[in-house]
Amino acid sequence: SRAFNFCAGPAMLPEAVLKQAQSEMLDWRGTGMSVMEMSHRSDEFVEIAETAEKDLRELAGISDDYAVLFMQGGASSQFSSIPLNLLGEKTSADYVNTGIWSKKAIAEAKRYGNVNVVASAEDSGFASIPDQSAWTTSADAAYLHYTPNETIGGLEFDFVPESGSVPLVADLSSTILSRPLDVSKFGLIYAGAQKNIGPSGLVVVIIRKDLLGKARKETPTMMNYQVIADNDSMYNTPATYSWYLAGLVFQWLKEQGGVQAMAELNSRKAKKLYDFIDGSDFYANPIAARFRSWMNIPFTLADDGLNGAFLKGADARGLLNLKGHRSVGGMRASIYNAMPEAGVDALIQYMAEFAKERG
């Protein structure tokens, strides 16, 4: 009876995770309490929190050189926390503009320092990423920020930029844990939870420890990475239930075979959908093949006037939230880790039938 939910976030969660949470809802392992009701300082919750961190470290291959922070305020609050914590004595930072989320990060950073937009996908209509040889990076920048996967536009890097001695900062909100990643190439990684990690209310920050302790003095305490690290992400009351659910998702991911198994599944799901779109003269995706997102697949219908009928028919089949972001229109299928391959198959079948009837 569960629908296939193609929402970009909050996104579908694995059914096994929800069932486990349901079975533990009223009484977590004989404590007589829901996790929601537990003190964050209790032994029980500290165990939940520590296990989640350990599992995430194992899944993503995060060494002891990095602190893992479980923060609040979404990925959007990191757009401010990053310059406040990392600019230090420097006056500028480098940013790559690949779409709406990059632009938001850039706008926020401009409040605190000079932003050098070293490359922009704008000239290609956000359909392609300029080759790194053409970027105007500076060795004096405090860091280089980029958005590996633009959730709205469906534009994704197929390479990790070289940043030399400058720390590389990445907004991995919509691609974390979808495939293996060499964390050692990054100074800081951040990701809002509500796509591949768990429910909203949580943002995971993975920061190389030598980058801690550089926050400007006006940095709000709750945004100061050093304070959060020193207090094991419990300077204040954390988003306990989201943290617990993230831990269940990490356990589920380990049971599925980890990020390597996810990569195989995710690349297969994405390829199927792109192959279908490319083979059809009714649907289209504008992104250069190399830079197509594995996670968020926007597509248009040959006739915009049919969008309403397409969505209505999809809803009736339990294929939910396919409407594209208001800024780009059309449709978008978000197919994160928890979207089963059967969901993609059902979508393709529906798209084929709709094109045959209405195309």
Among 195, 214, 269, 323, the one annotated catalytic: 195
Instruction: Using DSSP bridges, classify how beta strands 296-301 and 331-334 pair: parallel, antiparallel or unpaired.
Output: antiparallel
Minimal distance in Å, beta carbon 76 to ligand PLP? Answer: 3
Q: Please count the other Cβ atoms lying within 10 Å of the Cβ belonging to residue 250.
A: 25
Minimal distance in Å, beta carbon 319 to ligand PLP? Answer: 20
Annotated active-site residue 195? The verdict is: yes
Residue 208 is given by DSSP the state: E
321 binds ligand PLP (CB under 6 A): no
The pair of three-digit structure tokens given for residue 160, joined into one six-digit string: 């990790």
Annotated active-site residue 104? The verdict is: no
Site residues for ligand PLP, window 83-142 (CB under 6 A)?
Answer: 101
Give how far the C-alpha of residue 332 lies from the chain's centroid of Cα atoms, to the nearest Å. Answer: 16
Query: 61's torsion region: left (phi>0), alpha (psi -120 to 50) or beta?
Result: left
Per-residue binding string, ligand PLP, 6-35, x by CB under 6 A, is --xx--------------------------
Annotated active-site residue 243? The verdict is: no
300 is in an annotated binding site: no
Name which of 74 and 301 has its Cβ closer to ligand PLP: 74
75 binds ligand PLP (CB under 6 A): yes
Minimal distance in Å, beta carbon 107 to ligand PLP? Answer: 13
Query: How far is CA 338 from each of CA 8, 10, 18, 358, rounded to the nearest angstrom?
Result: 12, 12, 11, 31
Among 55, 94, 135, 171, the one annotated catalytic: 171
Helix H or strand E encompassing 23: helix 15-23
Residue number closest to ligand PLP, CB atom: 74
Q: Tell which one of 171, 228, 250, 294 touches ligand PLP (CB under 6 A).
A: 171
Name which of 241 and 354 has its Cβ closer to ligand PLP: 241
173 binds ligand PLP (CB under 6 A): yes
224 binds ligand PLP (CB under 6 A): no
198 binds ligand PLP (CB under 6 A): no
* 196: exposed, middle or buried (Cβ count in 10 Å: 0-12, 13-18, 19+): buried
Contact 49, 243 (CB under 8 A): yes
User: Which range touches ligand PLP (CB under 6 A), out of 68-76, 154-162, 285-293, 321-329?
Assistant: 68-76
266 is in an annotated binding site: no
Query: How far is CA 8 from each of CA 136, 198, 219, 347, rounded to the nearest angstrom?
Result: 32, 13, 31, 16
CA dist., res. 330 & res. 319, Å (int): 15
Residue numbers at the binding site for ligand PLP (CB under 6 A): 8-9, 74-76, 101, 147, 151, 171, 173-174, 192
Q: Which residues are catalytic?
A: 101, 171, 195
